[in-house]
């Protein structure tokens, strides 16, 4: 995995906004390979006729089985995004979730809606909204262009990772009015990372073409992966490089140090300082 050093201005932007855009994260050949594999997996969805008055019918959110495809497996350690995530969290992480999201045109008579403004990993259900920790970061890779608003991009409430209460929506409205809602314009090959605490939502695609993204989530190893995430068997794990093996659950338990990413971080000079249990006073 190549080093992409987290610059101070990137850290400040991520800490302030809750997300960060990475332009040209994937080259054209990688995007083409991902689209080819994704279209094969999405074949039945792409073949069925759209139904403009049923917007959810025009969405595909495919989660299990992605890592069986080599182009998707290669994304697990993709630079520049994954090195940034290691530096923002720590080397003690693994892959927590996968998703391939396709959205077809919502139709002329489609209406604006949001599929649930929410925070990821569901910890607010147990801990509430105040004092939440950053425990996970997702990266979203754009496989198609998003040249204008309402193209099916994930929406973010900028800075809402700092909120200590639920997101407020006026009756009859789909978006909050006390925070900036970001509908980013990105190109195929661009990516963005965002943390678990930021409020975000899916939105329909009114761009008259199918939008396509791949989204991977990384979290601390003491966070249980999503149930659909299929870890390779031991034989296949041993065929992978050490970092991919760690990220795919290659250690028997979380008490085993995350040697692969610790070694990588040490060699790259980005190892975070050790946190002691006790100090002398």
- Tell me, yes or no, whether 30 lies in a domain: yes
- Tell me, yes or no, whether 140 lies in a domain: yes
Q: What is residue 105's three-state secondary structure?
A: strand
- Tell me, yes or no, whether 65 lies in a domain: yes
Quote the crossing angle between the two packed helices 259-268 and 81-88, to the nearest 10°: 100
- Tell me, yes or no, whether 276 lies in a domain: no
Residue written as token pair 């190109």 = 187
Q: How far apart are CA 141 and CA 8, in angstroms?
A: 23
Q: Are 199 and 160 in contact (CB under 8 A)?
A: yes
Q: How far apart are CA 219 and CA 262, in angstroms?
A: 15
Those residues whose C-beta lies under 8 Å from the C-beta of residue 69, and which sit 6 or more positions away, are: 37, 41
Domain count for the chain: 1
- Tell me, yes or no, whether 278 lies in a domain: no
- What residues form DSSP beta bridges with 22? 191
pLDDT at 102: 96
> Which two three-digit tokens encode residue 78?
């993709």
> Which two three-digit tokens encode residue 210?
């199918």
**Quick one: which of 115, 155, 135 has its CA closest to 196?**
135
For 102, 161, 184, 219, the CA distances from 148, given in Å and listed in that order, are 17, 25, 8, 31
pLDDT at 87: 98
- Tell me, yes or no, whether 2 lies in a domain: no
Question: In 114-173, which residue ranges form alpha helices assigned H by DSSP?
Answer: 124-127
Q: Are 95 and 221 in contact (CB under 8 A)?
A: no
Those residues whose C-beta lies under 8 Å from the C-beta of residue 7, and which sit 6 or more positions away, are: none
The pLDDT profile of the chain, 281 residues, written as one tens digit per residue, is 999 999 999 999 999 999 999 999 999 999 999 999 999 999 999 998 877 667 678 889 999 999 999 999 999 999 999 999 999 999 999 999 999 999 998 876 666 667 789 999 999 999 999 999 999 999 999 999 999 999 999 999 999 999 999 999 999 888 999 999 999 999 999 999 999 999 999 988 988 899 999 999 999 999 999 989 987 778 888 899 999 999 999 988 899 999 999 999 999 999 999 999 999 99
Question: In the chain, which residue ranges form alpha helices assigned H by DSSP?
Answer: 8-17, 28-41, 43-47, 70-74, 81-88, 124-127, 234-237, 242-247, 259-268
Q: What is the CATH number for 214?
A: 2.60.120.620
- Tell me, yes or no, whether 275 lies in a domain: no
Backbone angles phi, psi at 205, to 5 degrees: -110, 115
- Annotate 207-230 with DSSP letters as a single string: SSS-EEEEEEEEEETTSPPPTT--
pLDDT at 74: 95
pLDDT at 107: 75
Q: How far apart are CA 190 and CA 146, in angstroms?
A: 10
Could you list the residue range(s) of the whole structural domain that residue 83 is in?
Answer: 8-268
- Tell me, yes or no, whether 83 lies in a domain: yes
């Amino acid at each position: 995995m190549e080093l992409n050093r987290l610059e101070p201005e990137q850290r400040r932007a991520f800490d302030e906004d809750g997300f960060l855009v990475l332009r040209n994260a994937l080259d054209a050949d990688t995007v083409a390979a991902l689209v080819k594999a994704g279209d094969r997996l999405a074949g039945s969805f792409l073949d069925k006729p759209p139904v403009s008055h049923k917007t959810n019918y025009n969405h595909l959110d495919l989660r299990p089985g992605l890592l069986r495809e080599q182009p998707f497996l290669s994304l697990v350690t993709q630079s520049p995004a994954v090195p940034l995530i290691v530096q923002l969290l720590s080397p003690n992480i693994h892959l927590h979730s996968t998703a391939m999201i396709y959205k077809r045109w919502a139709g002329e008579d489609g209406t604006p809606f949001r599929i649930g403004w929410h925070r990821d990993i569901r910890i607010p259900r147990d801990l509430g909204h105040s004092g939440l920790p950053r425990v996970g970061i997702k990266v979203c890779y754009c496989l198609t262009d998003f040249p204008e608003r309402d193209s099916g991009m994930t929406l973010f409430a900028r800075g809402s990772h700092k909120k200590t209460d639920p997101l407020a929506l006026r009756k009859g409205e789909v978006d909050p009015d006390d925070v900036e809602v970001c509908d980013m314009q990105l190109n195929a090959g661009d990516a963005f990372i965002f943390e678990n605490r930021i409020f975000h939502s899916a939105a329909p695609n009114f761009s008259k073409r199918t939008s396509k993204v791949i989204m991977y989530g990384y979290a601390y190893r003491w966070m249980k992966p999503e149930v659909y995430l299929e870890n390779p068997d031991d034989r296949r794990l041993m065929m992978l490089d050490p970092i991919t093996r760690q990220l795919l659950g290659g250690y028997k338990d979380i008490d085993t140090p995350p040697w692969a990413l610790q070694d990588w971080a040490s060699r790259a000079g980005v190892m975070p300082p050790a946190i002691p249990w006790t100090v002398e006073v």
